[in-house]
Structure 1
Amino acid sequence: MRRRSLLLATVPAGLVTLAGCGDDKSDSSKESASATPSPSPSESGPSQAPAPKIVDGPLPAITAGVKFDEKPTVAKGTVEPSAQLAVKTVIPGGGQTVAENDYIQANYLGQIWATAKVFDNSYDRGTPLVIQLAQGSIIDGWRYALTGKKAGSRVQMAVPPTWGYGTQGNAQAGIKGTDTLVFVVDIQATFNAKSSAKGTDVTQDDAALPKVGTNTDGKAPSIEVPKADAPKKLVANYVIEGDGAEVGAEDAVLVQYKGVQWSNGEEFDSTYSRQALTSFSLQQVVKGWSQGLTGKKVGSRVLIVIPPDLGYGDNPPQGSGIEKGATLVFSVDILAKM
């Protein structure tokens, strides 16, 4: 499993009605994609600190890697850092504006102000961070500094302990409770409850399978279940084919989804209805999801038809409204790989 980020405070909720049910990982519903053990510091819970004042500086110079999405080199701080949150848009982007509680996809580097010691960076891992800018999900410095910025921007910030890891610091990462932290963040994309797949529509010409709507306006797509017997084997077909990286069997993903039962077409779960995206590891959901999404491309919408033996069988989650032995039909938009 790849190393995870330093920046996690708590873990965003996973796919509650799917995770761990119907296979041998019954306890993993309490976890989510980002729960992979990290050698990096994390907060124990939401900060109670008041909102900081955003100031222009001081900020140490970026001396190399000055282009967007290049690994930067940042000088050591040579003066006393501000007691407030110093933020600078180094490269302005022209993409969607980031709002609080959005998910962002970003590359970043973090180092200690006084020593320039780099304690974490995503560039060397080769995988950008995907995380929610929500209280309790990420350190407050990021939440305040990046809200209102645009995708495509490079943002530099200096985060005092109050809005970082607090007076306890994190010994494992070499961060003391008095350390101001410097971050350079390249915001690649932002996602919210209206995000959809982006790609090419794929012909749906099998009359024996459900037909899924191809709207990309952030509204829930329609799912038309045919008056036919449900398939006995897993179906996982593109509805919209994206051009992103393929999802691996051990990856975590950020998704929009809608689920209905084959027998009656009734919706039993949907991120659209909750108006909240969800993230999870493919190792922590029912087998139909993990098998159906493995190998699919980021940016795609996928029809997944899950027979009972790869779903919940005769043990559906209590209160879910799912019938025993139900075949389940999902539309899943793969927004990002985490």
Structure 2
Amino acid sequence: MRRALAVLAAVPLLLFAAACGGSDGGGNTAATTGATTAAAGASSGLKVGGTVGAKPTVTFPAGQPATKSSYEVVQPGTGAGLKAGDKVIVNLTVYDWDGKGNAAQGSTYDTKAPETIAIDQRIPQVLQEGFTKVKHGGRLLAVLANDSVAQQQQTQPPAPTKVFVFDVVGTAPTPLKAVSGKETGESIKGVKVENPAPDKAPALSTKTEEKAPKDLVVKTLITGTGEKTKAGQTLTVQYTGKLWGSDKQFDSSWERGVPAEFPLAGVIEGWQKGLVGVPVGSRVVMSIPPEMAYKGEEKPGIPANSTLVFVVDVLGAY
């Protein structure tokens, strides 16, 4: 499960990709870098056209691409400011600056799926600084050259200089640390869930002789008090996944130590349908038939045509 934009192997310094990319399965990650920053208004020679809120155009200067990373505030914005530690929601457009075609590599304006970026040490220093110079409704231009690549990655063939235009949509709300609410007593026949302390992983058992349901089954175990989730939102969850009948676990965010974050549009159909309308702060258990999961395709730890069972804590949605 993943975001609509996937990691481009050609961009070792950042976590973005062309809009047609695939998916990986974890949360946002990026290389720690020591890029040299440049002041706003740096002379990259690039010109950005269009209004904030619509896909921008970029005019490139003649000659070779920049070899130094820089940022420029195109529009400062008028909303709330950004600071280190925020998770900023952006529409982004990316180009390869190779001095030839300078081809566009993708835009969230095309996919209609804004990205969320944590302003922390996992992104290049030039972005850590640049994002704190714009507000909601602002536009940031960033040139990311190979001086932004982490030292340990500089033995790899140099990637083209990248040009990003970021339009700041807002900041993600802080997710809950744990579910909260009343236990409902609901269950799925053949599946057992033990609810320990709210901040502890629930114990899921799928060892059963019962036949797997043919349809999607979703039961609320703990009803939260937050807003109900909507299709198209990005969710923050803790979850455990097992195979129906065998009790074999194939995935768990609890064991990775951090909640997972993903847009609902980028996950299997069973999650897309089963997690819509769930109040934030809830715990649900889902039985997902193969037709709404991976069908006849085999995945790591998941045989073809498997019925999947998940217990999911919904901690945030935006």
Measured on the aligned residues, the alpha-carbon RMSD in Å equals 4.9
* Superposition deviation, residue 72 in structure 1: 1.0
Summarize deviations over 1:119-148 as a string: whole Å, max 9, x none.
Answer: 332222222223444555x56654453245
Q: Check if 1:234 corresponds to 2:218.
A: yes
Summarize deviations over 1:149-204 as a string: whole Å, max 9, x none.
Answer: 4332210122221215976787xxxxxx374332211121223xx625xxxxxxxx
Residues 81, 134 of structure 2: 8 Å contact kept? yes
Match of 1:225 in 2: 183
* Superposition deviation, residue 240 in structure 1: 3.7
Match of 2:53 in 1: 69
- The runs of 5 or more residues in structure 2 that have no matched partner are 16-23, 189-216, 241-251, 289-309
- Structure possessing the higher relative contact order (Cα contacts under 8 Å, 6 or more residues apart): 1
* CA distance 1:287–1:107, shift in 2 (3 Å): closer
Of 137, 162, 166 in structure 1, the residue corresponding to residue 147 of structure 2 is 162
How many percent identity over aligned positions?
20
What TM-score comes out, normalization by structure 2 length? 0.55
SS at match of 1:162: helix
Residues 63, 73 of structure 1: 8 Å contact kept? yes
What TM-score comes out, normalization by structure 1 length? 0.52
SS at match of 1:124: helix
| Matches of 1:125 and 1:258, distance apart in 2 | 27
Match of 2:285 in 1: 306
| Matches of 1:3 and 1:150, distance apart in 2 | 24
Match of 1:104 in 2: 88
* CA distance 1:58–1:230, shift in 2 (3 Å): same
Residues 153, 186 of structure 1: 8 Å contact kept? yes
Pairing of 1:141-152 with structure 2 (within 5 A): 141-147=126-132, 149-152=134-137
Code of the residue aligned with 1:159 in structure 2: it is L
Match of 2:166 in 1: 185
* CA distance 1:305–1:5, shift in 2 (3 Å): closer
- The runs of 5 or more residues in structure 1 that have no matched partner are 13-30, 36-42, 171-176, 197-217, 248-252, 260-268, 311-326
Match of 1:255 in 2: 236
Pairing of 1:38-117 with structure 2 (within 5 A): 46-47=31-32, 49-55=33-39, 56-62=41-47, 64-65=49-50, 67-78=51-62, 83-100=67-84, 102-113=86-97, 114-115=99-100, 116-117=102-103
Residues 5, 122 of structure 1: 8 Å contact kept? no
Match of 2:104 in 1: 118
Code of the residue aligned with 1:109 in structure 2: it is T
Q: Check if 1:278 corresponds to 2:260.
A: yes
Match of 2:25 in 1: 32
| Matches of 1:81 and 1:33, distance apart in 2 | 33
